[in-house]
Amino acid sequence: MNVRHSHFKLMLAAAVVCSQLLLLTTCAKKTASSASHLVYWSANNQYEVDLARELVARWNSLHPESPVTHQPVPESQSTEEAILAAVVGKTTPDVFSNMWPGDVEAYARAGQLVALDTFPDFAEVIGARVDPALLDEARSSDGHVYQIPWKTNPVMVIFNRKMLAEAGYDHFPRTYSEYLQAAERIVRDTNGDGHIDRWMGITDIRALWWQRFFDFYPLYIAATGGHTLLEDGKIAFDNQQAVEVFTFLQTLFARGYFPKERMVGRTDVFLQGVVASRFTGPWEIRHAEKFKPEGFVYDFAPVPRPDGVSGPVYTYGDIKNIVIFRNTRRPRLAWEFAKFLVSREADLLLLEMTDQLPLRANHLEDPLYAPYFAKSPFMKRFADQARFVRGTDTSPVLKEIFDILSNEFEACVVYGVKTPAKAIHDAARQARLVLE
Amino acid sequence: MDARPITSRTSPVSPQTGRLSVGQGRRRHTANAGYVLVLPYIAHFLTFVAFPLVFSFVLIFHRWDILSPMQWIGLGNVHRLLHDRLFFRALANTGVFLLIHIPLQIVIALALAVFLNQKLRLRGFFRAIFFLPVVVSGVVTTMLWDSLYAQDTGVLNNVLSSLGLGRVPWLTSPTMAMPSIAIMATWKNVGLYIVLFLVGLQSVPQHLYEAADIEGASPWRKFRHITLPMINPTVVMVVILSTIGGFSLFIEPYIMTGGGPIRSTLSAVLYIYHQAFQFNHMGYAATLGFFFALIVFMVVLLQKRVVEQETGL
């Protein structure tokens, strides 16, 4: 037999075997993930992975006939990117618990999500859990609800008590004028080199749309008493309150109360006493407790508002929700599992294991959670704030609107090349075009 | 004269038996084995090059947000592109980057290559040091420079400050940000071009220098009249490679500035990325991509022609 011929046959056989193996592996994976098990994706930070594992273990012990497989959302630049890739590749899980509400509308319009209000017990389950106003916020433009409001991380201000006390404050400034006054006392050049090295606060100056969730947006919600950017699908932020927020922030940068840099490559500037305050969420508690220097005392307060505004202080809630993807083969079971994820007991685990707040209207009154809040006074503060949070509007172009605002923020607030009134007006004009 | 029909010379089939001759049969088996071996490459090419290219060309005529079905809009994306001032701003920013980056890169790489071409002690060590940034991840080097550039706390400004000089707003001034990125990109890539120049330098015949030495030529005259003309092909290659590399500016502004301040570092590729993966405007991003590729192609072609005319290559 010809030697070359036999080599050729060998190579051909190897190629065929390899391709068959690849095919079989792919098919096997697909079958395992979509037919016999319900697949649940959680966020991929360690706290939530631990929580998801615990919840799934409990579910599986209660329902051995309907097992759930847990996977953290695949590593990516952002969760949104990973989900988008999964939708395109038709590899979405049955249930996903870290959905940013701003994305839900686009997925719902594309027919990728199950309308949860089509389940007969939806109203009963959600009604017992969520404030009606929040449920309205979660409702899509077609009138259906595609998401279960699950958890919130209200944006508040963390502040250095000692620095504030030295400036003569026993509480955090509640208004813009108080904040600016405190900043004037706190901000200074401590080593006498003619350069400021202690600031009132810090925020990311880059024009990244999602960074505005931690400066402009919570301040805007607070200034307007709980309004968001859109009203009846139309631009609603072309107003005096938005201009006041931009003016306030612009003053902070113009006077050097906020640094025009990101302080990368150094240790936590808040815990080192370099900045006196920062807009943040409850995730900061564990971080501060772990890394704070000895004797460091901090506290949390609501975000400041323009002078003369009364009523409760609203803020951005940084809400994440649970959705069921349309490609699930067992929607009823997925709904049962989703209900399990928002049960009272599951919400207690959410608190205990992640220090994140369930979007449960009565969690401060519920005796089940009382021991947790008793030993976590800071979380109690966030829980109080959680009654007055707003999410984001339901619009498929929300990211673009935030991007526009972010660019105007950069031009006006950070670099002062535009007046606040013009910046807000320009942002509103561009956003209207995008909406059209 | 050979009277046999042409077919009898080229056909692998024996005219007598109607079967493959032994030699022809072996050649065919060898050819078949070759086809099998190139199959993976062809599969890869079709899947990851040809299909995306054709698909993105189709996308030019559609509106598509990935989630919803594609919608035919004819030349709508092209019309939008022609009126998109921000894209042309991003193109101009990329041009500014190239204007700073390419000359800087060539001058520094050539100077260091000439230096490293000498008989130095630790020559290998220096070559490795200059090449090191090339192999380090772009994300890592960008993050490193991000902290070096920090206005209030960065090492660069601390040095300047200790020398009694003012602090430079490296990344926070619309006029300084792009030059700062160009400096960083030059540092990152210069090692690669040093290697290319070294190859060019080592191919220059030594007898030319020896003849110049006999004539008493100064080092500068030798460099100007021998080295530079002899390494011209390398210069052309470096200019073209760094132009193509410079056009793909992405990681640095993406990580360091997000395209700011006030869009002064928004590069064309970053803008295309935003359209595609931030806003899901896939059709428009594909249109931008094709248009941009056309520009790169034309610039490189023009550059090649000009350099060839100038150098007579």
Could you report the per-residue pLDDT of A222-274, keeping only the tens digit for each?
A: 999 999 999 988 999 999 999 999 999 999 999 999 998 877 767 889 999 99
How many CB atoms within 10 Å of residue A376?
17
A205 CA to chain B: closest CA distance, Å? 9
At A29, the pLDDT band (50, 70, 90 cuts) reads very low
- Residue B272: both structure tokens together: 């295309």
> Is pLDDT at A348 greater than 50 in this prediction?
yes
The pLDDT of residue B24 is above 80: no
Shortest Cα distance from B260 to chain A (angstroms)? Answer: 7
Contact check, Cβ <8 Å, A207/B67:
no
Q: Which residues of A touch B255 (CB under 8 A)?
A: none
Residues of A in Cβ contact (< 8 Å) with B148: 265
Question: Residues A314-338: what's their mean pLDDT?
Answer: 94
Residue B15: band (very low, low, confident or very high) from pLDDT cuts 50, 70, 90: low
**For the residues A35-63, what does the mean pLDDT come to?**
92
Interchain contact B70–A (C-beta under 8 A): no
Q: Indicate if the pLDDT at residue A210 is higher than 50.
A: yes
Residue of A262, A274, A398 to mutate, interface with B, max B Cβ within 10 Å: A262
Is the minimum CB–CB distance between B174 and chain A shorter than 8 Å? yes
Contact A216, A402 (CB under 8 A): no
Q: Which residues contact B233 (CB under 8 A, 6 or more apart)?
A: B200, B313
**How many interface pairs between A and B have CB atoms less than 8 angstroms apart?**
103
User: What angle do helix axes A101-109 and A79-88 make, rounded to 10 degrees?
Assistant: 10
User: Looking at the partner chain, which of B67, B147, B261 has a beta carbon nearest the beta carbon of A106?
Assistant: B67
Residue B165 Cα, gap to closest chain A Cα (Å): 12
Look at A205 and B143 and tell me if their CB atoms are within 8 Å: no
Rounded to whole angstroms, the Cα distance separating A291 from A286 reads: 9
Determine which of A343-357, A366-380, A404-418, B20-34 has the lowest per-residue pLDDT on average.
Answer: B20-34
**Residue A324 clears pLDDT 90, i.e. is over it:** yes
Interface test with A, best of B86, B152, B157 (most A CBs within 10 A): B152
Q: Could you tell me if A217 and A102 are in contact, meaning their C-beta atoms sit under 8 angstroms apart?
A: no
CB distance B153–A112 less than 8 Å? no
* Residue B6 confidence (pLDDT) above 70: no
A228: exposed, middle or buried (C-beta count within 10 Å: 0-12, 13-18, 19+)?
Answer: buried
For residue A407, list chain B residues with Cβ-Cβ distance below 8 A: 263
| Pairwise CB contact (< 8 Å): B151 & A259 | yes
pLDDT at A408: 96
Task: Say which of A15, A195, A205 has its CB closest to residue B152.
Answer: A195
How confident is the model at residue B7, as a pLDDT? Answer: 46
A263 touches chain B (CB under 8 A): yes
Band of residue A3 on the pLDDT scale cut at 50, 70, 90: very low
Q: Which pLDDT score, from 0 to 100, does residue A33 have? A: 44
The separation between CA B215 and the C-alpha centre of its own chain, rounded to angstroms, equals: 41
SS (H, E, C) chain B: CCCCCHHHHHCCECCCCCCECHHHHHHHHHHHHHHHHHHHHHHHHHHHHHHHHHHHHHHCCEECCCCCCCEECCCHHHHHHHCCHHHHHHHHHHHHHHHHHHHHHHHHHHHHHHHHCCCCCCHHHHHHHHHHHHHCCHHHHHHHHHHHHCCCCCHHHHHHHHCCCCCCCCCCCCCCHHHHHHHHHHHHHHHHHHHHHHHHHHCCCHHHHHHHHHHCCCHHHHHHHHHHHHCHHHHHHHHHHHHHHHHCCCHHHHHHCCCCCCCCCCCHHHHHHHHHHHCCCHHHHHHHHHHHHHHHHHHHHHHHHHHHHHHCC
In chain A, whose CA is at the least distance from the CA of B157? A195
Q: Which residues touch A372 (CB under 8 Å, ≥6 apart)?
A: A348, A351, A352, A379
Residue at token pair 């009138």: A143
Picking from A8, A15, A415, the nearest residue to B261 by CB comes out as A415
Q: Which residue has the higher pLDDT, B4 or A351?
A: A351
Residue B277: list chain A partners with CB under 8 A.
81
pTM: 0.82
In total, chain B counts a number of residues equal to 313
Give me the pLDDT at residue A263, please.
79
Q: What pLDDT does residue B13 have?
A: 57
Q: Is the Cβ–Cβ distance between A213 and A318 less than 8 Å? A: yes
The pLDDT tens digits of the residues spanning B39-85 come to: 999 999 999 999 999 999 999 999 998 888 899 999 999 999 999 99
Q: Do B146 and A265 lie within an 8 Å CB cutoff? A: yes
pLDDT the model gives residue A141: 86
User: Is B53 near chain A, with CB under 8 Å?
Assistant: no
CB–CB of A4 and B30 under 8 A?
Answer: yes
pLDDT confidence of A89, banded at 50, 70, 90? confident
pLDDT given at position B130: 87
Residue B22 confidence class, pLDDT cut points 50, 70, 90: low
CB contact under 8 A, A195 and B167: yes
Q: Quick: pLDDT tens for A280-294.
A: 999 899 899 999 999
Band of residue B3 on the pLDDT scale cut at 50, 70, 90 = very low
Classify burial at A311, counting beta carbons within 10 Å of its beta carbon; exposed 0-12, middle 13-18, buried 19 or more: exposed
Q: What's residue B5's pLDDT?
A: 47
- pLDDT of B28 > 50? The answer is yes
B211-229, pLDDT tens digit by residue? 998 988 888 899 889 998 8
Contacts of B38 (CB under 8 A, 6+ apart): none
Q: Which of A193, A205, A414 sits opposite B161 (nearest CB)?
A: A193
Both structure tokens of A112: 């990728």
CB contacts of A423 in chain B (<8 Å) are none
Which of B55, B142, B153 best tests the A interface by mutation, with the highest count of A CBs <10 A? B153
Max mean pLDDT among A247-256, B259-268, B298-307 falls in A247-256
Better pLDDT: B93 or B162:
B93
Residue carrying the six token digits 């409760």 = A312
Question: Per-residue confidence at A77, pLDDT binned at 50, 70, 90?
Answer: low
Structure confidence by residue, pLDDT tens digits, A130-139: 878 778 888 8
Contact across the interface for A205 and B154, Cβ inside 8 Å: no
The span from the CA of A165 to the CA of A172, in Å, is: 9
CA distance A394 to A102: 6
Q: What's the mean pLDDT when you consider all of chain A?
A: 89
Q: Above 90 in pLDDT, residue A93? A: yes
Q: Given an 8 Å threshold on Cβ–Cβ distance, is A206 in contact with B258?
A: yes
Distance (Å, whole) CA B9 – CA A254: 87
